Structure 1
Amino acid sequence: GGIGMALLAVLHADFRPGIDLVIEQSGLDAAVQWADIVFTGEGSIDAQTMFGKTPVGVASVAKRHGKPVIAIAGRVGDGIECLHGRGIDAVFGAAPSAASLDELLRDARANVARTAEQVTRLMRIVRSH
């Protein structure tokens, strides 16, 4: 608050949402143009995700280019239905079973990779029929 107001007043700075900077600096817009489908993720996805979190920002870029969006999360909470209207077409949880947070964090890469593989296998089935 205070530092931000000082920057606005003294340096004539402006505020921008963090996701806008991430999109700009990462080249996401250009990458999405050639993609068939866009994957995004978050440690936890729930109704709060629609309030400025990265997956919704990624989805807004994807939808501008007419691309479907799949989100993968370590935890899927209540209210994800509201995300469908914000550009996220489907949400999948990556946690394979009940486990401690330490275990889930330790195995996060493998859990996300396994979930993404299963989603792509499902996509192949749908495309082939």
Structure 2
Amino acid sequence: MSALGRFSVSSQGERSTMADAKEEWLNRMTEMLQVDPTDLVEIAAMFFEGIDDRIDRICSSGQAGDLEEMTRLAHGLKGDAANIGFLSISEIAKNLEHQGRARAVVELEEQVASLREATATMKASLDL
């Protein structure tokens, strides 16, 4: 799990830890991607712009039994999240993708809730 995926926003002490996690993420990703930190935060903001809709579509396609569509959507989210260093989101999406491919989705609603929680934590960590 990435540093950002470990924190909640419930106390002042955790907020400062989240600020440290944000700095750690920015340093790691700007070095790896060779981009300006401001550009990286802008890329992260774009990632989050449609995230709720993407998660809703993963959930609804899984609930409807359209596992091919669920797998495709989860695969896309997995890659997009990994590319920007949001490893907790990527890992959950990867699990959904693999379960969809195997046609053996387990606890879809719980996994979607975990995906929403990881997303909210990342977004809050970046002050977006």
Same-fold call, TM cutoff 0.5: no
Question: Higher helix share goes to which structure?
Answer: 2
Task: Tell which structure's C-alpha radius of gyration is larger.
Answer: 1
With normalisation by structure 1, the TM-score equals 0.29
Question: Higher strand share goes to which structure?
Answer: 1
